[in-house]
Chains A and B, each alone.
Chain A
């Protein structure tokens, strides 16, 4: 029996989870918009930060939220190195070569995680984990709510930087017309390097939030990559607003599917939604496509 409360419950949980998905997708969409390279290792890089949070907790007893700030810098450097060493050399190659490169990175990270941490599921026990907030019969998980708030905050800062600063204007100009950006004096390669590094660093924020209520296994990366790709395609490739809304939508759809059908069907519903979008709105739900 599906009650109104249950529905509201699912909507709220879905929306909160969707906010976190939205940040993962936003980072992917930003990198794609500016580099025109789709990073299939995006979720695996998120997983690196999740393992990082686990290690920091085991070694130093650091709370996952604290690990966000500690991990942001190494993640930035990792993104920087990946761009210079692996992405940049294939930027002028075909789409397939680029896909092979980032898929290769994904496999390497996955195997490395398996070698270092084993196949066991790792999590971080915090006081927060089981804490909830009850409002009028609706139960809201506090770690989920904090994760939503942190994601929203980071997304907000990001969009302020893109819309309100000179550097942000150069990033958007580069996404819209890289050659013209060059003719305006923008160092396009440097812009791309920074944007890619930033898109990886943002994942530290997501990882810190996720590790307060979920676990990490070596295949988690793939799961998040697929999710982020779906969201980004749903919103329209390179469209940041679309990616954000797409993230919220996927979160809600997943939660509702869990209520109306059962939780095993949740992921399937996401794929159906995705298929329908590609069929009827191939440039994304909001049909803005590449505008970034």
Chain B
């Protein structure tokens, strides 16, 4: 069977500066996969390139076997690859509900939109209570949930999250991951996660890749990586 997402020998960067030097990864349907690595390793560039915001200089990105690296960003979202970017990027002057509605842009059928909205409200009841509030008035944790909810409104086949724990209190990080777990168990959603919080990431994901200087240095199941000496020394401080 074809993996849901397959990336081969991907090279990308900004202008003349190459950040990713030929990375390959695969995500099977239903899996949760994490990409770990220090600041500047190219994690965000990887997600930006997968989303079409940055162009691949070489290599291939296949979603369900179909190449998507030449598609404009909005078409990639339409194909089912939806990203929650780093720092959340909610639309500050739209209300919570308006943010969610914009997230539903790729969905044509109004009945599907309402159905998805109901699911998002069930997952994050707080969003229903704050539906009419301007998004900028939400706390950091609430904004993260809004960003995830907005991405879900696009009915993703694969949800990509860039540093969902960034800048959040530990208790709130727990809440975010609890919601993601619920999402997986309820709908079997496939997730590609970029995270600096290695504990959380390995706890959540089935497998992980470690990105260093634009290349994958290591990969394996979360259990293997948790016991890997390099990982323990470099990231887990043991």
Contact = CB atoms under 8 A, between A and B. Distances in A.
Interface of A: 166, 169-170, 172-173, 176-177, 179-188, 291-292
Contact of B78 (A185, A188, A291): A185
B91 A176 contact: yes
B73 A182 contact: yes
26 contacts: A169-B94, A170-B102, A172-B98, A173-B91, A173-B102, A176-B91, A176-B92, A179-B73, A179-B85, A182-B51, A182-B52, A182-B72, A182-B73, A182-B77, A183-B73, A183-B85, A184-B105, A184-B154, A185-B74, A185-B78, A185-B103, A185-B105, A185-B154, A186-B105, A187-B74, A291-B92
Contacts of A188: 74
Majority secondary structure, A binding face: helix
Closest 9 CB pairs of A and B: A185-B106, A185-B77, A182-B73, A185-B105, A180-B89, A173-B102, A291-B93, A176-B91, A187-B74
A70 to B, nearest CB: 34
Given A184-B102, A188-B74, A179 B53 contact: yes
Nearest to B48: A179
A181 B72 CA distance: 12
B69 interface: no
B53 A176 contact: no
Contacts of A169: 94, 98, 101-102
Interface in B104-151: 105-106, 150
Contacts of B85: 179-180, 183
Contacts of B101: 166, 169
B74 A172 contact: no
Contacts of A172: 91, 93-94, 98
Nearest to B47: A183
A49 B138 CA distance: 45
A173 B150 CA distance: 12
B45 interface: no
B142 to A, nearest CB: 17
A184 B94 contact: no
A177 B92 CA distance: 9
Nearest to B103: A184
B82 interface: yes
B78, B93, B103 — which one has the most chain A CB atoms within 10 A of its CB? B93
B74 A182 contact: yes
Given A179-B73, A183-B82, A184-B102, 13 more contacts: A172-B93, A176-B93, A179-B53, A179-B89, A180-B85, A182-B77, A183-B53, A183-B85, A183-B89, A185-B77, A186-B74, A291-B93, A292-B93
Nearest to A190: B74
Given A166-B101, A170-B105, A173-B102, A183 B77 contact: yes
B49 interface: no
A231 B56 CA distance: 43
B222 interface: no
B190 interface: no
A225 B93 CA distance: 28
Given A183-B73, A184-B150, A185-B78, A177 B105 contact: no
Interface string B5-26: 0000000000000000000000
A177 B74 contact: no
A183 B93 contact: no
A291 B134 CA distance: 12
B165 interface: no
A138 B101 CA distance: 49
A1 to B, nearest CB: 48
A184 B85 CA distance: 11
Nearest to B105: A185
B83 interface: yes
